[in-house]
Amino acid sequence: MHLRFYAKYRQCLCSSFNTFQNSFILSSSYCRLSPCISPTAFRTKSIVLMEQVHPTLLADQEVAISETTEITKEKDLTRIENKQNDSGKRKKDDLEETEGKGRGKRRRGAGGKKVRPGERYVPPPQKRNPGVSFNQEHFNETSYYFENGLRKVRPYYHDFTTYCKGRWVGKSLLEVFKSEFRAESIEYYQRAAKEGRIRLNGTPVDHLSIVLKNNDHMRNTVHRHEPPVVGKPLQILADDGEVLVVDKPASIPVHPCGRFRHNTVIFILGKEQGVSELHTVHRLDRLTSGVLLFARNLETSKRLDQLVRDRQLLKEYVCRVEGEFPEGEITCEEPILVVSFKIGLCRVDPKGKECRTVFERLSFNGKTSVVRCLPLTGRTHQIRVHLQYLGFPILNDPIYGSSAWGPHRGKGGLLSRTNEELLQALVEEHRSQESLHLLDIPDNSIAPSAIASNSKLDHLCSECKLIRADPTEKELIMYLHALRYKGPDFEYSTHLPDWAKEDWKETV
């Protein structure tokens, strides 16, 4: 019986070393817990066994426990030594592989697979700079000149770069240029490739049949022409080291977009005022003028962004609208839906985002009214869309005052066309008037962009072969102005523009 108990006891004891993290009390006919007998404690690692055993077995049990403990230690030491040896071997192998010719090396750009002989290698994507991307090197790409009251940019060479998008993977460069980059003809891209202007991962390509892979980096060098803007200088309203405030003229975009790069507020400030590393707090439409805020550092940018999100930044605009706007305060809360992100076309629609704008008439000259606007939300084209819905579109609004909206021109949300039909009608109307540039859509079938007499022509550039007429003031200015921005502890404002004065008369 003692031998059977001892065998059972050894089995339970060994099991306890591997599984239990608390006290194990063994109770049997030969081992009972009694308040009058002191227990014997056996300790290994974090396991404590409280035992009451038969006196004749104590010596054998202690020997067994000692043997088990030694075996466990030996196994642990063996595992540690093996792990160190394996680790050292792997490091040695990695070092030898790195010092070798690199054959068989795993490359992230190739999807973690070994590059097979003859297979095109794609390097891993480079880390992008999370900070401000424009500096003096970009500002020095070209220069301005002024003509007929307009600020113009001398044509210059520019590299458009992009990483391969998911929908391009498996397609040839030819297919991508056909479907995605239709500003130029396929013949142009083929000639540009032969002249080394199209590069893939830094290497010029001489044909467009190359099939794109994930992480491919494309670079296309073009001879770039920018549309002119008004020649009015940028006036700095405030600059305290944390916030820079300017009075933006109409026709100038805030930052590079579409066909504009140097004729933008960001580049003009950098080139003429030496100001860079600005953080955009809010934006104004290209044709809108007025107060524009920039943060000088990231901390200030976050603080102002929070004010915008908490709606503690009061924005006040003025505009001139068609007809006699009603007296008193008018509030419009119609939801706005984006129809086209490309040209920023929006409309009132129940499926849109909630909006709220408060209007108040300031004056009426018999034909048009000056209206004070308080947008309480920040949707795209919110003021313009709500005024159109109320039946008083901004006097020279090229989008929301267009006849493409139908006989009611969008008043009350009445529209007999689908969104696609509306967009097409709007484009066709401006194409017929040779004013597609007002929608920021290039039109190579006509001749809008004069070339400076000292600018060099590029034999591949289609723009160099065109003579574009200068835009008129009516095409460059929309009667919408950001008059005031007010926060909890600051307020920035400008003077009323001439067209917002009570005695102003429209000239034909």
pLDDT of residue 508: 64
pLDDT surpasses 70 at 503: yes
pLDDT of residue 172: 95
pLDDT of residue 144: 96
CB 155 within 8 A of CB 225: yes
Catalytic status, residue 470: no
Per-chain mean pLDDT for the chain: 78
The DSSP symbol for 184 reads: S
Backbone torsions φ then ψ of 114, nearest 5 degrees: -70, 135
Give CA–CA dist 415/393, Å, rounded.
15
CB 151 within 8 A of CB 190: no
156-224 is classed in which CATH architecture? Roll (3.10)
pLDDT tens readout for residues 402-412: 888 888 888 98
Mean pLDDT score, 141-149: 94
235-500 is classed in which CATH architecture? 2-Layer Sandwich (3.30)
Higher pLDDT, residue 451 or 135: 135
Give CA–CA dist 304/230, Å, rounded.
29
Helices within 289-413 (DSSP H only): 298-309, 382-390
pLDDT surpasses 60 at 359: yes
Q: Which amino acid is at 376?
A: L
Query: pTM to 2 decimals?
Result: 0.71
Mean pLDDT score, 211-215: 93
pLDDT surpasses 80 at 401: yes
Q: How many residues does the chain have?
A: 508
CB 321 within 8 A of CB 395: yes
Give CA–CA dist 232/25, Å, rounded.
92
DSSP 386-442: HHHHHT--BTT-TTTT-GGGTTTTTGGG---S-HHHHHHHHHHHHHHTT-GGGGT--
DSSP element (H, E) containing 229: strand 229-230
Give CA–CA dist 121/165, Å, rounded.
17
Q: Which amino acid is at 334?
A: E
The domain spans of the chain are: 2-72, 156-224, 235-500
pLDDT of residue 59: 43
Mean pLDDT score, 246-271: 94
Out of 285, 305, 310, 440, pick the active-site residue: 285
